[in-house]
Amino acid sequence: MTDALRVVDVAEEHVDSAWQVRQRSFGPGGDKDEWRKTALEFAQDGRYLGVLDGDELVAAARIWPFEQWWGGRRIPMAGVAGVVVAPEYRGRGVASLLMRAVLKRSVEKGYPLSALYPATTVLYRHLGYEFGGGRYQFTFPAADLRTLGGRGVQVRKAGKADAQLFIELASKLHAAERSNGPLIWPLSEVESWLGDDDNFAYVADDGFVVYNWSDGNLSVDEMVAGSEETARALWATVGSGASIARSVYVHTAPTDPVHLLAEHEAEAQARVQRWMLRLIDAPAAIAQRGYAAGAVLDLSVRIEDADLPANAGDWRLSVADGTGSLVAAEPAEDAVRLGARGLAALYAGTPVAALRGAGLLSGGSAAADAALDNAFGGSTAYMIDYF
């Protein structure tokens, strides 16, 4: 690495080179003007970092201002995207330099969590990210959805003005289901999907669906239903396209009721894209998530975290009445020992046996393992959206 490399906030004058690095990294495509507009929004809000060599931008990464559901509570989450390094600068630590700055900025912006879809795990594992959950895509026969019924439910076409309502309906459902993983997008993004003519959105009293065409079939991007009847009605609305579309691709939880409603099982080949999680501020992340009702935990943990030393050290981890805390404590012989990766995977509900099997957790006791599984377990962590 040359000494001239420095991390900066991407400014307007760098945006054209950022586009070039992006094209060389992800391939051609995309609308440059549209991309530029969004890029400037990230830049203006201090959520677009780059690496300069002299005056030339050679790497960049963005932070989405998301919230994420954990145990039915929403927590601010830095969604890292568009990590790119110019080809001639790769293989000498530029992405690592940039990602360390992304972690630092995420701390400054007060995000307890960060998540990303990795194109390569190595880079992010070195920085404390570990798999947290998946984005699942199932394929159902459109004809099966068409006949689901729900005819008594009023379904109306939705538009941009319904964005806030969509967020509220989704929030109600995720809180009630104690969901793990799904995102809440900024309101402006939801408005922009709903204003997009390529998306078809329908809303009922306690649910909504957003779908679009995908290679002659239909693809459901978002689906929220607060009752069986609404689920039936919204799926049947999508399935009404069965005379043209043979299949409906569905991004949803692996435990979504649609699996129990549709006559035939989803096609055997489901797609899973895994995403990674990192705790940026461990005490805040532990305090802000929800836990299994009735879970009780009170044990010593030792965390190693070289990149974010505020997370490192000896702690007392407690959970009771659905709420958790991580408080600095004296070192203990029987402490559960974890690094940043183990902590992220534990937080996301990975069974402790799997963490031990991968060398990501040690110490503690069998009783501690059972209590940890009980507190952090719950429904499988998933995301509906890619970013």
Ligand X SMILES: CC(C)(COP(=O)(O)OP(=O)(O)OC[C@H]1O[C@@H](n2cnc3c(N)ncnc32)[C@H](O)[C@@H]1OP(=O)(O)O)[C@@H](O)C(=O)NCCC(=O)NCCS
Distance of alpha carbon 131 from alpha carbon 136, whole angstroms: 14
Q: Which is nearer to ligand X, 21 or 299 (CB)?
A: 21
CA atoms within 13 A on the CB side of 193: 22
Distance of alpha carbon 294 from alpha carbon 22, whole angstroms: 48
Classify 375 as helix, strand or coil. Answer: helix
Range in contact with ligand X (rule: CB under 6 A) among 120-128, 179-187, 305-313, 330-338: 120-128
Contact pattern for ligand X over residues 316 through 345, marking x by CB under 6 A = ------------------------------
Q: φ and ψ at 190, to 5 degrees?
A: -65, -40
> Using CB under 6 A, which residues numbered 87 to 106 contact ligand X?
90-96
Q: Please report how close the Cβ of residue 342 comes to ligand X at its closest, in angstroms.
A: 18
Q: How many residues bind ligand X (CB under 6 A)?
A: 17
Residue 36 binds ligand X, judged by CB under 6 A: no
Closest CA to 377 of 256, 280, 293, 278: 293
Q: Which residue of 43, 49, 85, 220 would you call a contact of ligand X, by CB under 6 A?
A: 85
Helix (H) and strand (E) counts in the chain: 13, 19
Range in contact with ligand X (rule: CB under 6 A) among 11-19, 70-78, 85-93, 309-317: 85-93
Q: Which is nearer to ligand X, 96 or 214 (CB)?
A: 96
Q: Which residue of 49, 83, 224, 266 would you call a contact of ligand X, by CB under 6 A?
A: 83
Distance of alpha carbon 112 from alpha carbon 287, whole angstroms: 10
Q: Please report how close the Cβ of residue 90 comes to ligand X at its closest, in angstroms.
A: 3
Residue type, 244: I
Q: Which is nearer to ligand X, 1 or 293 (CB)?
A: 1
283 and 305 in contact (C-beta within 8 Å)?
A: no
Residue type, 27: G
Give the binding site for ligand X (CB under 6 A): 25, 83-85, 90-96, 118-120, 122-123, 126
